């Protein structure tokens, strides 16, 4: 039986390690502070933000959510970010994406003080990642590395294949794996014979955003699979095809009219891998945990504790 890489377990470990650090900062004068900017009403974003606020409260981190209307202009949002940059009680700023179409997203993200960029998206922090210098790392990729290390999955000398080249997951996780001495290949929509390239992987990271696209043809036996995808299947035929032999998932589909699946076919993953992340409950919980870790680390730097 393959090893299930339980993201909830690792999340709880990280949170327990952060608690004394938060207590030390609070005793020195104030708790770490996180500001979340949530523009308008985007249901998925609202769910994510609620999770971030709850995690902050659980740890004793001060959290403030700012909710400007979706009619906000780029200039108004830049002014809001500039105010947060100057606030001494805020150590981390997170601008929840996506932003409304009239807002210049790149300008807004560039306006965030790099020392308060707890998402790790600012070009200065991306440069620190490329150079393997200290700094905040993108949360999902950092969570993937924590998961691999805490489950003692070997990385050095292994062949890692990353499917997906986004700035949020694909590129940064490839760099993190490279810094851990893996040999890394990044694949994308123009990669010839994608299944053959993926079959070379000892560690396969799937971050494509297409439900169960990675089938058994992509997996060599004993591969470690990190499934970053979170796709909602609402078509009955697709659900029956993907979850054939999984009555619990089909029952959930009947009850809710949809079911979540990653980018990797779940049956192929269970049958061929040596270790894998479930969906949900794998990579997802670690994204928020690493956001908390970045916020605490930022507070420690700004307070002189590290």
pTM: 0.94
CA distance 37 to 56: 15
Identified catalytic residue from 52, 116, 171, 249: 52
Count of domains in the chain? 2
Identified catalytic residue from 115, 119, 227, 265: 119
Identified catalytic residue from 96, 116, 171, 202: 96
Summary mean pLDDT of the chain: 95
Query: Once rounded to an integer, what is the mean pLDDT over residues 43-49?
Result: 79
**217 part of the active site:** no
CATH number at residue 108: 3.40.50.10860
Residue 123 in domain: no
Are both 147 and 60 inside the same structural domain?
no
**119 part of the active site:** yes
Residue 246 in domain: yes
**237 part of the active site:** no
Beta bridge pairs of residue 205: 162, 226
Are both 99 and 220 inside the same structural domain?
no
- Predicted confidence (pLDDT) per residue in 17-28, tens digit: 999 999 999 999
Residue 149 in domain: yes
Residue-number span of the structural domain to which 198 is assigned: 139-284
Query: Once rounded to an integer, what is the mean pLDDT over residues 215-227?
Result: 98
Are both 172 and 99 inside the same structural domain?
no
Burial 7-42 (b: 16+ CB within 10 A, else e): beebbeebbeebeebbeebeeeeebbbbbbbbbbeb
Length of the chain: 306
Are both 181 and 229 inside the same structural domain?
yes
Are both 69 and 143 inside the same structural domain?
no
pLDDT at residue 47 in the model: 80
């Amino acid at each position: 039986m393959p090893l299930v890489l339980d993201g909830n377990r690792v999340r709880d470990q990280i949170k327990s390690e952060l608690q004394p650090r938060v207590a030390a900062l609070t005793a020195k004068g104030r708790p770490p502070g996180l500001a979340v900017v949530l523009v308008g009403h985007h249901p998925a974003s609202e769910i994510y933000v609620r999770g971030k606020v709850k995690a902050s409260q659980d740890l004793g981190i001060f959290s403030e959510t700012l909710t400007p209307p979706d009619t906000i202009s780029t200039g108004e949002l830049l002014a809001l970010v500039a105010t947060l940059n100057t606030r001494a009680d805020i150590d981390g700023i997170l601008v929840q994406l996506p932003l409304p179409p009239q807002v210049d997203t790149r300008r807004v993200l560039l306006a965030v003080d790099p020392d308060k960029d707890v998402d790790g998206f600012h070009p200065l922090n991306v440069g620190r990642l490329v150079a393997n210098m200290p700094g905040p790392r993108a949360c999902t990729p950092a969570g993937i590395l924590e998961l691999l290390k805490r489950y003692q999955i070997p990385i050095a000398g292994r062949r890692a294949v990353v499917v997906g080249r986004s700035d949020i997951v694909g590129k940064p996780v490839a760099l993190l794996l490279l810094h851990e001495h893996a040999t890394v290949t990044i694949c994308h929509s123009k990669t010839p014979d994608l299944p053959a390239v993926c079959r070379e992987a000892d560690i396969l990271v799937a971050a494509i955003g297409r439900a169960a696209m990675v089938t058994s043809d992509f997996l060599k036996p004993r591969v470690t699979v990190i499934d970053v995808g979170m796709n909602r299947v609402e078509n009955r035929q697709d659900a029956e095809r993907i979850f054939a032999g999984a009555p619990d998932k089909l029952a959930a589909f009947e009850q809710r009219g949809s079911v979540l699946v990653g980018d990797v076919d779940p049956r192929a993953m269970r049958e061929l891998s040596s270790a894998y992340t479930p969906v949900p409950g794998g990579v997802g919980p670690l994204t928020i945990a690493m956001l908390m870790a970045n916020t605490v680390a930022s507070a420690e730097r700004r307070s002189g504790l590290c």
